[in-house]
């Protein structure tokens, strides 16, 4: 049997606890319990979601500077007749002519990047266009002129005749990391301005065979026909790239799209605004990487270097004495290991600057001093 004194002690302890709880509830704020629970819930949410729940602020900051671009060009083609009779079709072609001029329209996107109305876009968006119309987000429509175009990076600069424009802010593409959130803004399929969201899938993509100079940002943000030339922005709404292409054969998004980093786009744009074209160094050689088989056939004891496989007669390298079969191992004492490294290094030089090249000819170390020339217009090179 429980002692009577012990029961009295339990009753007194319970009474004291109830009185203490009542005093605490009376003295503390009414929303204390709710605030505590809210803080705990917020902490849990923040620990599992490091990013914002909405990117509307970033879109509001960047979207006004993204424009829709419509172009028209005249294409010569062959007139076609709908007939199942080959003889009749041949007769109609002879009577009414084979060739017909057709106006073709295309669409793309662009980004206003200066207060003077300069617009960055892709070269393939405006290539051979006879008319270029730019539609701003606020409904204004203006004709644009081509300031410069660069097929080797697939970039172009347009300008519209107005100064009060919604200029975009630049981000820093050199510090991008895989997993960073990005937004693609453009005009897919001519639907009008559209935003898609994704992440950075990879950086520094090259050797894709798309352009001569490649250093792409890869993203899974949807990039479809019409997005070309549009903006790739970060979560702050800052421009980090110019959307250019998707990997699918039909041009539709498959989760692998590419954008030109803004650091490259700004460099190209500065040249086009100042000179109307991009000034790049050139020495007039075609090169290829040295495979283990080639290395063995040339009797090379060390790996590295690139093989001169072709040369432009009368070009800077030919004038300096280089010939096919020579092996370039360094530029201005910087060791080179692959063809793309040599190309990217040479284009940084300005015309008439001197370049020291060390190489191997017939197993002997040789050195040449070359006066760098101006890289010819794309497609005009012959070897």
Q: Which helix (H) or strand (E) holds 194?
A: strand 194-205
DSSP string, 255-319: S-EEEEEHHHHHHHHHHHHHHSS---EE--EEEEE--HHHHHHTT-SS---EEEEEE-TTSHHHH
List the one residue out of 193, 181, 279 whose CA is nearest residue 230: 193
Largest CA distance in the chain: 125
Catalytic site includes residue 180: no
Residue 227 has which token pair? 């997005």
Contacts of 75 (CB under 8 A, 6+ apart): 101, 102, 103, 104
Q: How far apart (Å, rounded) are the C-alpha atoms in residues 65 and 348?
A: 31
DSSP 189: G
Contacts of 349 (CB under 8 A, 6+ apart): 281, 355, 372
List the one residue out of 103, 114, 110, 105 whose CA is nearest residue 69: 110
Residue 95 has which token pair? 């009577």
Exactly one of 150, 154, 220, 326 is catalytic; which is it?
A: 154
For residues 290 and 382, the answer to whether their CB atoms sit within 8 Å is: no
**Backbone φ and ψ of 25, nearest 5°:** -65, -35
Q: How far apart (Å, rounded) are the C-alpha atoms in residues 327 and 344?
A: 17
Catalytic site includes residue 150: no
Q: Which helix (H) or strand (E) holds 61?
A: helix 56-62
List the one residue out of 91, 71, 68 whose CA is nearest residue 81: 91
Catalytic site includes residue 124: yes
Q: How far apart (Å, rounded) are the C-alpha atoms in residues 14 and 296?
A: 93
Count CB atoms within 10 A of the CB of residue 33: 11
Exactly one of 106, 109, 124, 150 is catalytic; which is it?
A: 124
Exactly one of 106, 109, 228, 253 is catalytic; which is it?
A: 228
DSSP 170: B
The residues that are catalytic are 124, 154, 228
């Amino acid at each position: 049997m429980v002692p009577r004194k012990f029961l009295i002690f339990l009753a007194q302890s319970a009474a004291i606890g109830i009185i203490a709880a009542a005093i605490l509830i009376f003295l503390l704020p009414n929303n204390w319990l709710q605030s505590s629970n809210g803080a705990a819930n917020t902490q849990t949410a923040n620990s599992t979601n490091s990013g914002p729940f909405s990117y509307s602020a970033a879109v509001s900051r960047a979207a006004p500077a993204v424009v829709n671009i419509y172009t028209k060009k005249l294409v010569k083609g062959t007139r076609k007749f709908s007939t199942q009779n080959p003889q009749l079709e041949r007769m109609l072609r002879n009577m009414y002519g084979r060739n017909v001029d057709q106006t073709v329209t295309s669409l793309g996107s662009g980004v206003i990047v200066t207060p003077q109305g300069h617009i960055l876009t892709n070269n393939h968006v405006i290539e051979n266009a006879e008319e270029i119309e730019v539609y701003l987000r606020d409904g204004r429509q203006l004709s644009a002129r081509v300031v410069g175009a660069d097929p080797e990076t697939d970039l172009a600069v347009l300008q519209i005749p107005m100064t009060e424009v919604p200029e975009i802010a630049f981000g820093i593409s050199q510090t991008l990391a895989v997993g960073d959130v990005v937004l693609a803004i453009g005009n897919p399929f001519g639907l009008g301005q559209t935003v898609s969201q994704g992440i950075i899938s990879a950086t520094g993509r090259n050797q894709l065979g798309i352009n001569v100079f490649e250093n792409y940002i890869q993203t899974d943000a949807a990039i479809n026909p019409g997005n070309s030339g549009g903006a790739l922005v970060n979560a702050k709404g800052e421009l980090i790239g110019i959307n250019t292409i998707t990997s699918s054969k039909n041009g539709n998004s498959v989760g692998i799209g590419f954008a030109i980093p803004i650091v490259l786009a700004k460099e190209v744009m500065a040249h086009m605004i100042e000179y109307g074209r991009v000034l790049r160094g050139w020495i007039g050689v075609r090169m290829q990487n040295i495979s283990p088989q080639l290395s063995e056939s040339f009797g090379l004891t060390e790996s590295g270097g690139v093989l001169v496989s072709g040369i432009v007669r009368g070009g800077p390298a030919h004038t300096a004495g280089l010939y096919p079969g020579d092996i370039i191992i360094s530029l201005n004492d910087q060791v080179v290991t692959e063809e793309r490294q040599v190309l990217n290094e040479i284009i940084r030089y300005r015309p008439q600057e001197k370049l020291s090249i060390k190489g191997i000819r017939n197993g002997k170390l040789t050195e040449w001093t070359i006066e760098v020339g101006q890289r010819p217009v794309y497609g005009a090179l012959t070897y």
